[in-house]
Structure 1
Amino acid sequence: MPQLPAPEYPPEVRERLEPDAREIIARYPDSRSALLPLLHLVQSEEGHVTRTGMAFCAEMLGLTTAEVTAVSTFYSMYRRKPSGDYQVGVCTNTLCAVLGGDEIFAALQRHLGIGNGETTEDGKVTLEHIECNAACDFAPVVMVNWEFFDNATPESARRLVDDLRAGREVAPTRGAPLCDFRKTARILAGFPDERPEAVAAGGSAGPASLAGLRLAKGAAQAGARPGADARTDRPGGPPAGRQAGYPTDQPPPQHPSSHDAPLPSSDSDPHHPAGPITERTEEGE
C-alpha cells in the first residue's frame, strides 16, 4: 500500500519558517549541506522531526524525502517521536559509568518510572543514556538539553528532574542558562541565543583537560621529574638525540609530547638510512 503524502505546515507556520530556511541555506555553497541545521529548525517547530518537517526540508533543498529520512534517522540528536521539554541524558560511557553514571541512570529510571528514551506523563522529561560528551574530568555528567550538570550523584540527579518537572529554575554547572528543547533546537539550527544571560555565560574545561594545554605550552617542563628524559618524561629514557628515528647529530623536537609525534621518514629526513625520495615512479615500475 503506497504511503500517503506528508501533511503540509499550515500557511502561517510555513510563512514563518521559509525565511529562516532560506537564511540557513544561504550560508552554504551547496544547498544540501544545509540539511542538518534545517532538521534542527523543523525540530524546533514541533519538538521532534515529523514527516511534515522532513517534506519541508526536502522541498527547500530539492532532495527526495528518502534522502532526508536517511539523515534524520541516522543522527540521534533528531527525535522521531514527541519528547519532553527537557532531554535528560546520563553519560554511561566508561569513565562516567565507573564513577557512578550507571547508578544515576538506574536511579532516575526508578524515580521517574520510565525507561530509556521514554517521556514522563506530564511531557516534561525524556530520559536517555548518552555517549561521551567530552567532559570526562567532570564525570559523572548529566546533560539537560545539551547543557552540563557536572559531578552528578543519584541524589542531585533526582533533585534536578524534580525541579524541572515542578517548573523551578535550574542552573547548569557551566555554560548558557537552560532553555526548553524547542528553543535549544533553534539555537542548534544556527540562530543566536539573544538572551542577555546567555550572551554573558561562559564555561571552561576542568583541570584534567587543561593539563594537556599546560604541557603544550611548556609549563610542565620546569617541573619534570629528576632523571626523566626531557622529551619523554620517563625515568631512564634514552638520551636526547638517540631515540628511534632521530639522528644523533640533531637535537629532537623539544615539546613535551614529541614522543607521540610521527617519526621522521625518508620523505622528510635526509639522514634517514633509506635516503630522501627524489623521484616517484608509476606503480609497477
Structure 2
Amino acid sequence: MGYPLFRLPTPGPVALRNWERYPGLTPLASETTMKRLTDDPDQVFGSEHLNLASETTMKRLTDEQRALVERHMPMLKHVVKRAARCWAHQREDLLSHLALQLCGAAASFDPSLGVRFITYSYASLLREAKREYAKQLTNGFTGLRSADGRFTPVPVAHLSAIKPSPGTGSDFAYSIPSRYDLDTWFVNGAPFQQPRSQVNRTLPAGVRFVKSRCYQARVNIGPPSQQISLGTFPASRYGSLDRAALAAGRAIEAFTDFYDPDTPGRDLDATFAHLKREGLIPQRVQVPRPRPRTKLAA
C-alpha cells in the first residue's frame, strides 16, 4: 500500500470546513464555485487544460466529488510549498489556480480503477504548480484571481521598485536587479539591507569578490598546479559590478583558450601580452616567477 506523501488532517466537520485556515481559498470555496462551474472551459482551466474540462466537470460536481475536493484541500498547500518558495500573493494565486485543477481532477476521477485519489491527482497538481510558477516569473508580474474571474495584477516583489541602472537598454531592463550589484535591489522603496556576505552570488568559475565593488580573476595552470591572477576588475572601470564580473569571466575564458605551454609563442608572457593587446585585462599583471634559492635555504 505504501505511505502517504503527506499527513492529512483528521476528517471531521471542523477540519474539513475550516476554510479560514487557508487564506486565498475562501472565495473559491463559495457555493457558486463548488456547485456550478462556468460553461466556458477557457475561463476556468485555460486552453491548455481542456483535458480536465470534461463534460461532467462543466455541468455539475456530485456530492462525492465535492467531498473529495474538500477532503484534499490541505494537499494544495503542500503542493505549493513543493513547487516553489514564493511570496504571499504568489502563493494565493497558485492556491486559487490549483483549487480549480482539483475540481477538474475530482470530476474526471474514476474510483473503479482501484487508485487512490491522492495518487491520481498529486503528480498532475505538482506539475501544474511548477508550470504556473515558472509562467509568473517569465512574465515578471503575477496577480490575484477571484472566484468570479476578476484579475488584479500585482507586480513581483523584487520588481516592484527597482533603482534604474545607468547605461543603455529598455525600460524593462532597467527594472531587473543585477545578480552582482546589491545597489540595484530596492524593496518597498527602501534599499536592500541584507549583508553582502549572506547573498549567494552565481559568479563565473575563477571569479571572486575581493573588496568593495571589485572582483578578481584567477586561473589554475599545471602541472604542477599553480594559481595565476589575471588582475582585479573594479566596477568603477566597467560601470557596474555586473559588467566587472562578466569582464573577469571573459578574461579567464580567453586565457584558457590561448595559453598552451607546449606551443611556441603561447607561454605565460605571450598569453598576458595577448590579453593586454586585446584589452581583456584591466592592468598590467606580473607573471609569478620561482623564488630564488637563498644561501640559508641551500
Q: Same fold (TM over 0.5)?
A: no
TM (norm. structure 1) is: 0.26
Task: Determine which structure has more spread, i.e. the larger CA radius of gyration.
Answer: 2
TM (norm. structure 2) is: 0.25
More strand by share: 2
More helix by share: 2
